[in-house]
Amino acid sequence: MPADRVLTGDGLTLEPLRVERAEEMASALGDPALHSVIGGRPASADELRARYARQLRGPADPSEEWCTWVVRDGGDGPLVGYVQATLTRDGARAELAWVVGTPWQGRGVARRAAALVLAEARRRGAEVVLAHVRPGHAPSEAVARSLGMRPTDVVVDGETRWSMETGRP
């Protein structure tokens, strides 16, 4: 169940990840300030091509599926970030992640993109939705809260697990 369809709504177009998007994504995610929050350093287009090729092969764990969409501002605007969902093969659980380039932050892009992916996860039957957020990162906490998630006491790699139960659609 990879990200095999385009998701649209609320002024955004989410396109399934493709290796060919690496150059534009390297530009969108190239601000070092972004990586002070998400970790690492800006990746080159070649590094992203290699990463995307690995991601598109899928996880080693056969009980999971990776779905990644690049986020386009409008129908033909620039790529501005990405949203991911790691789904269990039985569809019962989805773990979401979102990253938006610094020029587009503060415009609700992450919230809108994550909401589209949440709707897709629910459509696919997710009953539990998780996200991991760095404690005190107010914008990501706001995104998680807007989706209906609540923080838990679980901390993974220094990030707080947020959770919600959706029930089957």
Q: What is the pLDDT of residues 74-91, one digit of tens each?
A: 888 999 999 999 998 787
The domains found in the chain, sorted by start residue, are 7-165 (3.40.630.30)
**Would you tell me how many other CB atoms lie within 10 Å of the CB of residue 107?**
13
CA 46, 25, 132, 125 torsion-angle sign: negative
pLDDT, tens digit only, all 169 positions of the chain: 467 789 999 999 999 999 999 999 999 999 999 988 888 899 999 999 999 999 999 999 989 999 999 999 988 899 999 999 999 878 799 999 999 999 999 999 999 999 999 999 999 889 999 999 999 999 999 999 999 999 999 999 999 999 999 865 4
Read off the pLDDT of residues 131-156 as tens digits, 9 standing for 90 and up: 999 999 999 999 999 999 999 999 99
Q: Rounded to whole angstroms, how far apart are CA atoms 134 and 147? A: 17
pTM for this predicted structure: 0.93
User: Residue 39, exposed/middle/buried by CB under 10 A (0-12, 13-18, 19+)?
Assistant: exposed
